[in-house]
Structure 1
Amino acid sequence: MTITKETYVDLQEKYDKVIKLLEEDSKLDPESEPFLSKYSARQILIGMRANLENLLRTHTTEDPLHKKLTAMLGTIHLYLGMIAIETEETSNGRKHLEKCKEVIESYHVEPEFILVTLNMYNNFGILSYQNEPEESKTYLEKAESLFAEFKRKGVSPIDIADLFKTNIDFYNTDVAVKNFEKIHTLTLYYLAQAYGALKDALRSAVYCHVTLKRQLEMCEYDPIDWALNAATLSQFFMEKNCFKQARHHLAASSFILDEYKKKLDFNQTEPTEVHNAMLETFRHRSADVARCWSKYGLILLSKSKDRLLNHTDDLNTHCSLSTDFSDLNIQFNGNLSQYDLKSLIFEKIPIEEYENQITDQFILTLPDAKKVFLNAQQWSDKAQEYYTLDSLASDFIDIVLDQTQLYLNLLFFEDEPENQAKLHKRRIKLLEHVLNNVNEQYYLQYCRQVWFELARTYADILDIKCDKLRESTDRPTPQSLSKINNLADKGILHYTNFIKSFEDKASKKLPDKFPDDVEKPVLQAYFHKAALYSKYISLDKQIQLKNTEMSLENYKFISDYCEKHPKAKELIAMEYGICKEMVTLLPIKIMKLKSA
């Protein structure tokens, strides 16, 4: 049976209608019928399937048209499967994909079939992702290997749309190749998600990078999304000490955002609602990337501090930490290799200027630490231009807490006690600004963090002042003693506020047992309160007695609590040992003070 031109025209018209329904009309579907266009497309596809099955019955496998008709039928089942998945009919989706697989099984790496094949395995991967990530990975790896197999053949694929065109002698090779590469990029993206679901963060990160790189090279990306994804990926690298790759991805993110802003400014004739929305999105995501840069500086200082603490004898001999991901000894199966680890870069964009803002090496000296600190602080300030206390308080407070950690890590590299005290005071200024400007009821979780940090900071300054007092041969002045007692007051006040925040509002009593996630910090707050009471300086025996009794009361609370809840001893093993000792010793001191 000869297929008439009218038959092809009918199939092409119906295919074009399906694509319009799925890609254009579906975006305008009413909220009450969100799948209206997809259901309409499905009805057309069902009719096309019947027509193609009838045509295939009249053509043997030797017929030149058999392969083309089979590819078209496979496409119909693919689209039916995709629509079922998108309309949350997963079991139907799987049935259609299985039927697609059955139809094209013998031809999956032929030019007419390769795009259908890759799309099919990608959708199998999507379908299995939530509940069966291992199965999802298997499907996606199949798509990855078939892509490589077809690529080695050195022939051009045939685009799916061309299968339904009336003129069967002309294929748009450029479009087919572009779609072939785009489908593979999606495969890599889905593989990154599958490996993430399987808790294989390293492979997930590599696949994320390769996806971003391909998007960049093919100019197939949304600048805002791309920049945000690159910045997000940098977080993984910095947590793994891979600051070279973290910095590179952040630099690429900033470059793409800046290029996007140039286009926004160039295309602006007069403000419009659309342009203002785009500008607002840019400001929002620029602030997010600035936060990532600030986090980079914070983590670099923190990891550098840990490195020095853990390898104080001979860094070069004993320290195996590297800031380069490619130095990690990772074995990859399949298509990823050590070469991929050494080439996690974006060659096509000039980002050296962005990278040169900050080092990617571990910090050893105070001057280098200050450079990192100042850069991170500038990025925090930029983020706070968008995340303000008035409009986005939670994010603002998160940034402040990171800023206080920046100071804390810089302190490690500072040897001069007076300078350390100044850095602590700057932390206090940041934290007290938060307390003075937020509603404690609505931001209780944040206030708890701030109270604890403030108490600890006042205690740290107190230790510096006490050390200075002990080292001095001069008689302490009333002013210096008053400062020490004032620091103890404030430390105790903030630890007390932290503890009282866990009281029941009605009874004003603390729970018999604290929730697991706060049990350790609450007990530590009691421990530090007890220590602060012992640091008051007074010649008045009654005041000494009162402070000693308060110190004992706090130590005893910890001791009694741990006896009642034995597992708590493991949380504060060192503090608990000291508590038991102080509960024994302090009553003797109290008796001496009473009898004096």
Structure 2
Amino acid sequence: MILQWETNMADIRSYMINKGYEEYKNAKHLSEEESKKDPENEPFKSMYKAREILCRMRDAISGINAEGDDELLKKFLVAGLDVKIGVNHVETEELGVGEEHLSKVLKDIEEFKLNKLACNIYQEALNNLGILWSHRGEFGLDEAVRFLEASENLYNDFKHKVGGAPYSLEELFRPEGEDADQNEHERNSNFENTYTHSTFYLAQAYVGKGDKELSAKYCHQTLLRQLESGVYNPLEWAVNAASLSQYYLTVDDYQMARHCLASASYILQEAVSKQVDKQESELSNDEEKDNIARRKADISRCWGKYGLSLLESSKEFSIMNLIGHLDRTDLVGLNKKKPAEANHNADKDTNPTPEASSNDITENTGNLDKDTARFKLELTDIEEKVQARFIKDFSEAKEVFLFVQKCLNEAKEYYAKDSYCNDYVEVSQDHSKAFKLLACFEVDQDRQCKMHKRRVDLLTKLLEELNPQHYLYVCRQLMYELADTYTMMLDIKMNMHQEAGQSSTRHAIKKINLLVSQSIKHYMDYINSLKNGQPTLPTELEESDIRPALVAYFCMGNLYSKFICPDTELKIQNVRKSLECFQFISDYCKTDPRGQAAVANELHICEEMIELLPKKIEQIRIDPNFG
């Protein structure tokens, strides 16, 4: 029951001085400190106590008669307490009640949202409603964005229409004269930090909505603001910057991707330095050390992805440039220009096209200005470790490859096979991909083959070390990749054989046949892994297995035709096996319509081969040298 003097005799300021400030301080302590110590069987014990205090304060203030400025102060204090009570309900997993309190704040002080005392309260209510709706899954993301964008608009409106910074919500519940150094600068810092929370949650919401461009924009904006304010966790900042780099790779903005990764490495060192300081004071713990080691490995993996992407994009650029279908806009996702336009612009100093400078990659930072988008850090030494332009030749490709290899080996130091098997496999697959991409820049076919052989050695060793009962999906991936790698080696050896003509050796032919056998073997290993211990495949495969399985049969059908053998019966036997593979695809697609959609292009070729191969068998019988 509220005491008589509180409701009738005291004004707002007297209540706050005599009781309110102390009550709020206790509630804050319970929420932020004591709640960390709550037992597992009563996880919200302190939060409930804090809520009781906040509700008691709100009821007391609501019962005080006030006029003029005091009436406005009363309205804002009640709104501020409703924000805190709403957040309390959200944090104790009572979202519905929390939403009611936060929505009430918006209704109660809507007309005062540009008032210096009310703006931050309104802003906090919007942010927390945005967070609340984002917790409701996919269907809540539109509402989350609506509230967070309203918070962003409020920030901009206050800056342009009012100027300066509003009082912080916390400041309203602190006695005048306490923390006397609280000034406009600190209010501005709080205002900016509240807006930074808006951009952070907008980035998360747009991730959920699948809008990568807007998510990257707000993520980058958040990182910039955190760095400028000095309010950030170095480890979290570094990981977020490294993650952002992966978006820039998708739009071929290697300048900005490298800049984000260099910034991540730079700030990571700040976290490492803090850990060293704690070690010296004996405050560090094993969990924190492990967290830093893990994030260091994650950033190394992102660097590795950067190098792989640069190698791959450079390969595609070279191929497209050779056939004359590439212009600058193919790389940065702008409106496409005709080749004539691109060549015309090549003569200009501004906006050079790849034809004019094949090594330049345009920065594409979306809505962020490319100068202001850069983090204010000294990164020259880090950025110079790897280029951010398209690779011209094998020499440059080798430098990038060695950089990637170094990064992946660093990642493996943490993601060891015995402790983090799936991660270890993924890093190893990236290592294999690095060899594959390096081979694309090598002109010597024999050396190309040796690079693919390195892939075979790496993947074979990995496959032998894994237990297929525990890592069946990963083993299937490796089987498929091995089959594909052997096929690549086969294509190279076949080309060398054809170039050699009559001078091709028996050893070369034997090598070709071995490669054919190895590729077929690994495709069959993959197929057998789908049989679930039965002698044949299921009549209907899992959705995710249909295309890989049918393509495996298609590849085997082609591979059987690659065998080089003088024996007529062996030739016919290989053609029959090839026919069996194509027939399997056709038969499966007749019983399972999903197969027709999965391999539409391949199915058309299969039907042609089913018609042609029996004729080929007859021709071989007539003329053993045929085929």
After TM superposition, the score normalised by the length of structure 2 is 0.87
Equivalent residue for 1:252? 263
Residue 326 (structure 1) shift:
5.4
List aligned pairs for 1:485-496, cutoff 5 A. 485-496=513-524
Equivalent residue for 2:171? 162
Give SS of 2:101's match.
Answer: helix
Equivalent residue for 1:401? 429
List aligned pairs for 1:80-479, cutoff 5 A. 80-129=85-134, 130=136, 131-152=139-160, 153-167=162-176, 172-173=182-183, 174-269=185-280, 274-314=284-324, 317=327, 320-322=330-332, 327=364, 338=367, 340=369, 343-347=372-376, 349-479=377-507
Which stretch shifts more, 246-255 or 88-97? 88-97
Residue 155 (structure 1) shift:
3.6
Quote the Cα distance in structure 1 between the aligned partners of 2:264 and 2:328: 35
Quote the Cα distance in structure 2 between the aligned partners of 1:318 and 1:97: 49
Paired letter, 1:92: V
After TM superposition, the score normalised by the length of structure 1 is 0.91
Distance 1:313 1:530, change over 3 A: closer
Give SS of 1:357's match.
Answer: coil
Quote the Cα distance in structure 2 between the aligned partners of 1:324 and 1:113: 47
Distance 1:407 1:593, change over 3 A: same
Equivalent residue for 1:580? 607
Query: Is the Cα–Cα contact under 8 Å of residues 159 and 171 in structure 1 kept in the other structure?
Result: no
Quote the Cα distance in structure 1 between the aligned partners of 2:204 and 2:444: 48
1:590 paired to 2:598:
no
Give SS of 1:539's match.
Answer: coil
Query: Is the Cα–Cα contact under 8 Å of residues 530 and 550 in structure 1 kept in the other structure?
Result: yes
Match of 2:21 among 4, 12, 15: 12
List aligned pairs for 1:1-40, cutoff 5 A. 3=11, 5=14, 7-40=16-49
Paired letter, 1:435: L
Give SS of 2:26's match.
Answer: helix
Residue 137 (structure 1) shift:
1.9
Residue by residue over 1:8-31, the C-alpha shift from the partner in whole angstroms, topping out at 9 and shown as x without a partner, is 231011000110011111111111
Quote the Cα distance in structure 2 between the aligned partners of 1:589 and 1:155: 85
Which stretch shifts more, 305-314 or 369-378? 305-314
Aligned CA RMSD, in angstroms, stands at 2.4
Number of matched pairs: 581
Which stretch shifts more, 566-575 or 286-295? 566-575
Query: Is the Cα–Cα contact under 8 Å of residues 256 and 363 in structure 2 kept in the other structure?
Result: no
1:558 paired to 2:558:
no
Give SS of 1:409's match.
Answer: helix
Quote the Cα distance in structure 2 between the aligned partners of 1:49 and 1:567: 62
Equivalent residue for 2:349? none
Distance 1:339 1:476, change over 3 A: closer
Give SS of 2:290's match.
Answer: helix
Equivalent residue for 1:483? 511
Distance 1:166 1:228, change over 3 A: closer
Give SS of 2:280's match.
Answer: coil
Quote the Cα distance in structure 1 between the aligned partners of 2:405 and 2:57: 62
Quote the Cα distance in structure 2 between the aligned partners of 1:401 and 1:44: 57
Which ranges of structure 2 fall in alignment gaps of 5 or more residues?
1-8, 333-359
Distance 1:318 1:558, change over 3 A: same
Residue by residue over 1:460-506, the C-alpha shift from the partner in whole angstroms, topping out at 9 and shown as x without a partner, is 2122222222221444433222222221221111111011110032x
Match of 1:51 among 55, 60, 68: 60
Query: Is the Cα–Cα contact under 8 Å of residues 9 and 166 in structure 1 kept in the other structure?
Result: no
Quote the Cα distance in structure 1 between the aligned partners of 2:559 and 2:368: 56
Quote the Cα distance in structure 1 between the aligned partners of 2:466 and 2:599: 32
Give SS of 2:494's match.
Answer: helix
Quote the Cα distance in structure 1 between the aligned partners of 2:596 and 2:435: 31
Which stretch shifts more, 584-593 or 317-326? 317-326
Residue by residue over 1:368-410, the C-alpha shift from the partner in whole angstroms, topping out at 9 and shown as x without a partner, is 2222222111111111111111211111111111122222222
Paired letter, 2:513: N
Distance 1:2 1:464, change over 3 A: closer
Residue 158 (structure 1) shift:
2.3
Residue 325 (structure 1) shift:
7.2
Distance 1:404 1:339, change over 3 A: closer
Distance 1:71 1:340, change over 3 A: farther
Which stretch shifts more, 255-264 or 226-235? 255-264
Paired letter, 1:512: T
List aligned pairs for 1:503-514, cutoff 5 A. 503-505=531-533, 507-514=534-541
Quote the Cα distance in structure 2 between the aligned partners of 1:119 and 1:94: 13
Quote the Cα distance in structure 2 between the aligned partners of 1:326 and 1:537: 51
Distance 1:192 1:270, change over 3 A: closer
Query: Is the Cα–Cα contact under 8 Å of residues 159 and 172 in structure 1 kept in the other structure?
Result: no
Paired letter, 1:536: F
Equivalent residue for 1:334? none
Paired letter, 1:520: R
Distance 1:168 1:74, change over 3 A: farther
Distance 1:200 1:104, change over 3 A: same
Quote the Cα distance in structure 2 between the aligned partners of 1:564 and 1:353: 61
Quote the Cα distance in structure 2 between the aligned partners of 1:569 and 1:98: 53
Identity %: 34
Residue by residue over 1:177-221, the C-alpha shift from the partner in whole angstroms, topping out at 9 and shown as x without a partner, is 322221111011112222333332211111111111111121211
